[in-house]
Chain A
Amino acid sequence: MSLFPRKMRVGAGVALALIAMLVLAASGTKGLASDDAATNAPAGSHDVKTPKRQAWSFYGPFGKFDQAQLQRGLQVFREVCATCHSLKSIAFRDLAAPGGPDFSEAQAKALAADYKIKDGPNDAGDMFERPGRLSDYFPWNFPNAQAARAAFGALPPDLSVIAKARTYHRGFPLFLVDPIIQYQEHGADYIYALLTGYARSEDPNWNEYFPGHKIAMPNPLSDGAVDYADGSPKTVRQYAKDVSAFLMWTAEPKLEERKAIGFRVLVFLCVFAGLLYFVKRKIWARVHDDAGGTH
């Protein structure tokens, strides 16, 4: 006879598995992704490469954004992406909100004031321009989608939730593993791969990760294009990494809060379920005893 009844061992097994899953996810992508370019996927009919998983600070149950990285990513967005793309859902006040790039309110105000915001009508019935305020949203360089389409031949998508709107195929059986190891960063990995995937210098619209390879967006990044103040490498890879992280934040600004609450909820539920289990055993023990104790 073993020391514990069968059901208790099952319960302990489930608890251990849960802890193992948390540890697995928490231990992150350490052994996983180097900054190297991706592997060639057995992609069947298309020879499109599969993005490679990158190490992200926001991965896993205790993941958090790297504030310095988000600030660099914002810089890349403002100096490169914003030439064409909008970021409709992000307000300047978000830059100073917890769990984000961690600007002070004064910094966010100053940043907002750099932008001219169209407002109005005023008392005279005229529209006017004024400096941006915290409550304003990132303005776009184009008055409407048609104007952008006329300028580029295609509409540059809004980037607010792009990190959740893009993904790549994981295939069987990896798609079953993803929820267990908490892999949710397909979008960030895809954006990083795309931005580093302009592999043919003679064709700026050829990308090894884009389905069909011909992407309307020509290679937007080049080494040294953005002048980082914090001494980070001024390379395409670093820019791509930072802006991908930034776009994950714009897509999921409550990520840190979500994971922090989630851990507390899980701890509570595990303790609660454990207590309920022992209450249940105690109550049911009466029946088993009455019946002659066959358990």
Chain B
Amino acid sequence: MSGHPTYVPTHPAAQWLERRLPILGLLHSSFVVFPNPRNLNYWWTFGGILSFMLAAQIATGVVLVMHYTPQASLAFASVEHIMRDVNYGWLFRYAHANGASMFFVALYIHMFRGMYYGSYKEPREVLWLLGILIYLLTIATAFMGYVLPWGQMSFWGATVITSLFSAVPFVGDSITTWLWGGYAVDNATLNRFFSLHYLLPFMIAGVVVLHIWALHVPGSNNPTGLEPKTAKDTLPFHPYFTVKDGFALACFLIFFSWFIFYVPNYLNHADNYIEANPLQTPAHIVPEWYYLPFYAILRSIPSKLGGTIAMFAAVLIFAFLPWLDSSRIKSAVYRPLYKIAFWAFVVCAVLLGYVGAQPPEGVYVLAARLLTAYYFLHFLVILPLLGIYEKPRPLPASIADSVLGPPKEAIHADANPAHPRKSG
């Protein structure tokens, strides 16, 4: 990005460091003077919230590992030990367990914001793909983390999901045996999941660095989807966006705290307070809420291999968004039909989640099939066609115009300074 004042260290120590490793200058250009579009709304604060949540998950997780025992006959009791005997152990565990859910809340809002405002489009495809990679790593991390307390849902969830690989032709059974480290989910499985659950967050952190790097090349998208043209279109990251992100984070933490302190087990399953028992299958095996839409898709296909493929396709299809969406207009604000399609998709995803939590019987089977069909229809038919047939609304001349109204000499009698939040 052009036009930032370069970093000039004043303190001798800073000057000394800067000549040897210009890391302060890098931080300064990335998080102090970095120009952000001035019209970013609060939906843009979830990137910062996600960074915080990742750091919080790693911090609470590191403490939990100090007291947890990754051994099939001891794991469940060690979690109770954390809850009862470790100083503030209950706080660390509830913050970590609910933190996973909060991570997904922020992640889904962040993704859907990207979809609404077309943030995946040129020149931000690589940024989007890195985000999808983070999403995949997060899914894997959370899945393995849920296994660690070694409750009934831990055990049976792990069994159901890892068994899916047995649907792969010819080598399926070998793959599941390899994943389990044996012929069933057991201590070996717990050990490797524990190892990977500790490893993956640091891989996520690495990809987050790439994600921010890829963000800082084209800069943030914004509610108009227009690229900044002049200095009037942007504001420096600090103090404008540090304070806005900070305020949003504080509000998010209020929401988070409500769960930690008042309803810490709401997002959990009661069955996971029963120690894993390979001989007793729970009446309904249900994954965590953030996987429910994909679980519904998995069960909607009456074939194990077909269901597995559909489930993975439903996740991976997000990676193809930049090429499935044929419209050159980014923001849904100027795409009347896409705006409807977007909200229809949101409703579809939420309903899939609800159906995923219900037993696969009666009306829910039909609902799951119809919703699955619509899910893929959105990506494979609606998005490619919409760009061709949709007539976009006129775009403002610039980001500054969209916030402040057109320049004085160009104001018409009917021109109303459109506020981005009102127009979105």
Taking Cβ atoms with an 8 Å cutoff, the residues of A that contact B are 14, 18, 25, 61, 88-89, 94, 157, 160-162, 164-167, 172, 178-179, 182-184, 186-187, 211, 251, 253-254, 257-259, 261-263, 265-266, 269-270, 272-273, 276-277, 279-280, 283-284, 287, 291-292, 294
Contacts and interface: CB of A to CB of B under 8 A. Distances in A.
Contact of B83 (A162, A172, A254, A280): A254
B422 to A, nearest CB: 10
Interface in B77-95: 77, 80, 83-84, 90-91, 94
Interface in B180-236: 235
Contact of B91 (A166, A172, A251, A258): A258
Interface string B235-272: 10001100110110011011001111111111000110
Interface in B88-132: 90-91, 94
Contact of A261 (B91, B254, B274): B91
A260 to B, nearest CB: 9
A287 B250 contact: no
Where chain B touches its partner, the secondary structure class is: helix
A166 B77 CA distance: 18
A294 B405 contact: yes
Interface in B38-94: 38, 77, 80, 83-84, 90-91, 94
9 contacts: A25-B262, A165-B270, A269-B257, A273-B253, A276-B243, A279-B243, A280-B244, A280-B247, A294-B403
A165 B274 contact: yes
Contacts of A283: 239-240, 243
Nearest to A15: B254
Contact of A182 (B94, B262, B400): B262
A287 B262 contact: no
B135 interface: no
A18 B417 CA distance: 33
Where chain A touches its partner, the secondary structure class is: helix
Nearest to A162: B273
Contact of B263 (A89, A179, A187, A279): A179
Interface residues of B, number: 40
Given A167-B270, A254-B83, A265-B257, A294 B263 contact: no
Contacts of A263: 261
Most B Cβ at <10 Å: residue of A178, A183, A284: A284
Given A273-B251, A291-B404, A165 B271 contact: yes
Given A89-B77, A262-B261, A269-B253, 10 more contacts: A94-B84, A161-B273, A186-B270, A253-B84, A254-B90, A263-B261, A273-B247, A280-B243, A280-B244, A284-B244
B247 A276 contact: yes
A54 B239 CA distance: 51
Contact of A258 (B38, B243, B251, B261): B261
B380 to A, nearest CB: 30
Contact of B259 (A162, A179, A211, A292): A179
Most A Cβ at <10 Å: residue of B259, B266, B273, B405: B273
Contact of B261 (A160, A261, A294): A261
Contacts of A160: 80
Nearest to A261: B261
A182 to B, nearest CB: 5
A262 B260 contact: yes
Contact of A61 (B77, B94, B253, B262): B262
Contact of A184 (B265, B271, B354): B265
A266 B273 contact: no
B239 to A, nearest CB: 5
B246 A89 contact: no
A270 B254 contact: yes
A180 B94 CA distance: 18
Nearest to A286: B240
Given A254-B83, A261-B91, A294-B417, A184 B261 contact: no
Nearest to A186: B270
A166 B283 CA distance: 13
B84 A89 contact: yes
Contact of B250 (A94, A164, A211, A272): A272
Contact of A277 (B247, B270, B273): B247
Nearest to A183: B263
A86 to B, nearest CB: 12
B247 A164 contact: no
The 7 closest A-B pairs by CB, nearest first: A262-B261, A165-B273, A273-B250, A167-B270, A276-B247, A164-B273, A254-B90
A258 to B, nearest CB: 6
Given A165-B271, A187-B270, A258-B91, A273 B254 contact: yes
Given A184-B266, A272-B250, A276-B247, A284 B260 contact: no
